[in-house]
């Protein structure tokens, strides 16, 4: 979607606060939100649906509110959309009714459990598929010129641009459909673009930008 989240190349945000304190949680609520996000998710949610719901936050909030606050907002939205909590309960700041079938929560209550279990959370999104990748290393491609109205991972700044395949990553879960709850796999590539092809003011630059892009975002140049 053409949203405020698609920030690459936008101008006017000013200098970066390079020394901003954030180690690792600035304030207590940030730690709480991090913890909630790790151990409470609706059972049928996909990471791409969650990202899409974050992109749907009103632009003025998306651009001005703290990062982990936008996570909390997204959690509220996904839980409410799925019917696990209601807007009335938001007003009430508490539960008005239990859930029909409480989740079978994993009984992680200690740091030791988390550290022991951590490698099981290294989610792999790739899969062996029957189809052969269309493109090979070094091949020239051009990215889609049109955007899509739902969730997608081809940023606006890299649309309709010529690039080259840098590497093939295998077939990965396709985010555009995963954000609709459908798990399909599609060939994924590392694609390299010359800064000079992306930005008018960098025509003398030899710098490069690499993006990981799915096959349907690309056509042969």
Partner 1 sequence: MTNYDAQEVARIHQELRERLPRDPASRVEALEKILTEKGLVDPQSIDAWVEAYQDHIGPKRGASVVARAWSDVGFKQRLMADAPAAIDELGYLGRATGHLKVVENTTTVHNLVVCTLCSCYPFSILGMAPAWYKVAAYRSRAVRDPRGVLEEFGVEISNDIEVRVWDSTAELRYLVLPQRPDGTEHFDEDALASLVTRNSMIGTDRDLKVTALGED
| Residues within window 86-145 making contact with partner 1, judged by CB under 8 A | 87, 89-91, 93-95, 98-99, 102-103, 105-111, 113-115, 118-119, 121-126
Q: Positive or negative, the Cα torsion across 201, 206, 207, 209?
A: positive
Q: Exposure pattern of 101-139 as b/e (b: 16+ CB <10 Å)?
A: eeeeeeeeeeeeeeeeeeeeeeeebeeeeeeebebeeee
Q: Find tokens 């989740």 and name the residue.
A: 103
Q: Choose which of 133, 139, 159, 169 interacts with partner 1 (CB under 8 A).
A: 169
Q: Give the residue with the Cβ less far from partner 1, 111 or 220.
A: 111
Q: How far is the CB of 37 from partner 1 (least distance, A)?
A: 9
d(C-alpha 213, C-alpha 172), whole Å: 10
The answer to whether 155 touches 193, Cβ cutoff 8 Å, is: no
d(C-alpha 145, C-alpha 166), whole Å: 20
Q: Give the residue with the Cβ less far from partner 1, 124 or 145.
A: 124
Of 172-191, which residues contact partner 1 (CB under 8 A)?
172-173, 175, 179-181, 188, 190
Of 192-211, which residues contact partner 1 (CB under 8 A)?
195, 198-199, 202, 206-211
Of 28-87, which residues contact partner 1 (CB under 8 A)?
28-36, 38-40, 42, 44-45, 49, 51-54, 56-58, 61, 63, 65-69, 72-73, 75-85, 87
Q: Give the residue with the Cβ less far from partner 1, 82 or 221.
A: 82
d(C-alpha 193, C-alpha 211), whole Å: 8
d(C-alpha 147, C-alpha 152), whole Å: 8
Q: Give the residue with the Cβ less far from partner 1, 97 or 146.
A: 97
Q: How far is the CB of 180 from partner 1 (least distance, A)?
A: 5
Q: Choose which of 2, 17, 129, 147 interacts with partner 1 (CB under 8 A).
A: 17
For the chain, the maximum distance between any two Cα atoms, rounded to a whole number of angstroms, is 63
d(C-alpha 46, C-alpha 42), whole Å: 9
């Amino acid at each position: 979607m053409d949203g405020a989240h698609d920030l690459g190349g936008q101008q006017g945000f000013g200098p970066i606060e390079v020394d901003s304190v954030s180690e690792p949680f600035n304030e207590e609520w940030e730690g709480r939100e991090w913890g909630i996000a790790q151990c409470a998710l609706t059972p049928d949610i996909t990471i791409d649906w969650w990202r899409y719901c974050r992109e749907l936050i009103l632009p003025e909030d998306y651009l001005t509110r703290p990062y982990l606050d936008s996570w909390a907002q997204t959690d509220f939205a996904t839980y409410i959309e799925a019917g696990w909590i209601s807007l009335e309960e938001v007003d009430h700041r508490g539960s008005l009714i239990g859930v029909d079938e409480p989740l079978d929560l994993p009984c992680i209550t200690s740091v030791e459990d988390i550290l022991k279990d951590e490698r099981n959370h290294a989610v792999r999104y790739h899969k062996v598929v029957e189809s052969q990748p269309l493109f090979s290393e070094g091949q020239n491609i051009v990215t889609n010129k049109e955007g899509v109205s739902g969730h997608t991972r081809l940023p606006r700044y890299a649309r309709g641009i010529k690039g080259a395949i840098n590497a093939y990553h295998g077939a990965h879960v396709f985010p555009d459909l995963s954000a609709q709850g459908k798990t399909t796999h599609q060939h994924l590539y590392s694609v390299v673009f010359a800064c000079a092809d992306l930005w008018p003011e960098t025509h003398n630059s030899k710098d490069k930008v690499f993006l990981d892009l799915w096959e349907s975002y690309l056509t042969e140049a």
